A and B are shown apart, each in its own frame.
Chain A
């Protein structure tokens, strides 16, 4: 049930990301809902589950992007792994910490993802920074419901 709920959330995030993300474009960057969901999952459940979420979300993004399978997972994994380690043992992270975490993961994600796409450095940096700011603003709004859902699932499982 816990994995099914996680899969459903990641699938919904990927589909929303693909269908609506580009519509919310600001200076060329748009929010990455999958990244935010995966960061929230990794923070709450630790690096192992976070990496599993990253694999699922990244593969879905790869499928929706139309390129080879794997680059989005590779782009998500470093940041998610780091966040999983960082978040372990921190129960109620401050909203600024969540925003900063989302920004850092986005920068790592962009850095990896830009490698197979040779773009001018200025453009790449501008897009990466804009996406990091965008995601950091949205992160608290995604983090809280995902974390609540994860903890609720754990509690229900314990009660069963």
Chain B
């Protein structure tokens, strides 16, 4: 009895009936070995195989006695295919060929669409990584553009300020010296700012400081290369003004974050909202005609002879970066 571990076939010699190998070895021997080897099942329908010269075993797969090179078949097939190549191009054969192609088309189409799906899926993963990289690149470009926009915006502001200053100089006829704001008062009480021009540049204490929009203040202290400007917002910087439409004289005094306009009002003429307030030549402390601001709120006390108004200053000290120091005006 044979107990085969891997499979239930054995290689048997046809000549002697001897078992040569079992299992996988038998399969290998079938292909490799001589012509008298047969592959036999060890168990067929529950009956054990009897091996020996009598009865002669019936082979299930045998090596040919002589290994043919099949050269004739090769030549025959080549000739047949050459003929088929010619015949299949004849018009009468086109129906059959087309029918065969049509039979393959659905399966081919299904596989192609499956391929498309796979492509879409794989390209989606590719797209995600590509999009991520693209996103990073765009983010970097966006930051660069933002900084450029910021720089351009700043340049535009400076340009605007310089244009206004130029216009101011041309319109007023005063000589001015441009200065950059390099600092601001450290507390809410002293509404001052520091500019980068000093006595070395001809800037002296008492000189009037303006922007293109209007009056800003006065040089309080001049150092060699920097000066302190006391702005109108400081309560110790009263300015004699005139209210344009009403033609009333008054005084603007700073106080905290706003300017207050005090106008003696002995007559029936009153300050109205929206009136413009300019410097007057009273006292000659400031050049006349400099814009201070616009009346926004008016408060009139009962029986009071003075109107108090809030003035919206044309300059915002927190945003001013560029000023002009009027060098040829001497306060009296």
Binding site for B on A (CB under 8 A): 15-16, 18-20, 23, 46-48, 51, 55, 58, 60, 62-64, 66, 68-71, 73-74, 77, 81, 84-85, 88-89, 91, 151, 154-155, 157-160
Cα distance A160–B84 in the bound complex, in angstroms: 38
CB-based nearest B residue for A54: B77
Is B16 interfacial (CB 8 A cutoff)? no
Cross-chain contact of A73 among B31, B81, B89 (Cβ < 8 A): B81
Contacts of A81 in B (CB 8 A): 70, 74
Is B28 interfacial (CB 8 A cutoff)? yes
Contacts of A85 in B (CB 8 A): 69
Q: What range describes how many residues of B lie at the interface?
A: 35 or more
Determine how close the nearest CB of chain B comes to the CB of A7; give it in whole angstroms.
13
Contacts of A77 in B (CB 8 A): 74, 77-78, 81
Contacts of A70 in B (CB 8 A): 81-85, 88
Cβ B108 vs Cβ A19 within 8 A? yes
Determine how close the nearest CB of chain A comes to the CB of B104; give it in whole angstroms.
6
Determine how close the nearest CB of chain B comes to the CB of A65; give it in whole angstroms.
10
Cβ B97 vs Cβ A23 within 8 A? no
Is B40 interfacial (CB 8 A cutoff)? yes
New A-B contacts (8) at CB < 8 Å, excluding given A18-B108, A18-B112, A19-B112:
A15-B104, A19-B114, A51-B70, A64-B108, A69-B85, A74-B85, A158-B40, A158-B61
Contacts of A151 in B (CB 8 A): 27
Is B119 interfacial (CB 8 A cutoff)? yes
Cβ B41 vs Cβ A47 within 8 A? no
Determine how close the nearest CB of chain B comes to the CB of A67; give it in whole angstroms.
9
Binding site for A on B (CB under 8 A): 7-9, 27-28, 30-32, 39-41, 60-61, 67-70, 73-74, 77-78, 81-86, 88-89, 97, 100-101, 104, 107-108, 111-112, 114-115, 119
Cα distance A9–B304 in the bound complex, in angstroms: 110
Cross-chain contact of B60 among A48, A58, A89, A158 (Cβ < 8 A): A158
Cα distance A69–B111 in the bound complex, in angstroms: 22
Cβ B32 vs Cβ A91 within 8 A? yes
Contacts of B41 in A (CB 8 A): 158-160
Contacts of A69 in B (CB 8 A): 84-85, 88, 97
Cβ A19 vs Cβ B111 within 8 A? yes
Cross-chain contact of A63 among B8, B101, B115 (Cβ < 8 A): B101
Central interface residue in B27, B77, B82, B83, by most chain A CB within 10 Å: B77
Cβ A157 vs Cβ B7 within 8 A? no
Contacts of B30 in A (CB 8 A): 154
Cα distance A69–B324 in the bound complex, in angstroms: 94
Contacts of A18 in B (CB 8 A): 108, 111-112
CB-based nearest A residue for B10: A158
Cβ B108 vs Cβ A155 within 8 A? no
Cβ B60 vs Cβ A55 within 8 A? no
Cβ B119 vs Cβ A23 within 8 A? yes
Cβ A20 vs Cβ B115 within 8 A? yes
Cross-chain contact of A51 among B73, B84, B107, B115 (Cβ < 8 A): B73
Of the A-B pairs whose beta carbons lie under 8 Å apart in the complex, a sample of 23, sorted by A's number, is A16-B111, A18-B111, A47-B70, A48-B73, A51-B70, A51-B73, A63-B104, A64-B108, A68-B85, A68-B89, A69-B85, A69-B97, A70-B82, A70-B88, A71-B81, A73-B81, A74-B78, A81-B74, A85-B69, A154-B61, A155-B9, A155-B27, A157-B60
Cross-chain contact of B101 among A23, A51, A66, A91 (Cβ < 8 A): A66
Cβ A74 vs Cβ B115 within 8 A? no
Cα distance A88–B32 in the bound complex, in angstroms: 8
Cβ B9 vs Cβ A158 within 8 A? yes
Cβ B115 vs Cβ A155 within 8 A? no
CB-based nearest B residue for A69: B88
Contacts of B119 in A (CB 8 A): 23
Contacts of B28 in A (CB 8 A): 91
Contacts of B82 in A (CB 8 A): 70, 74
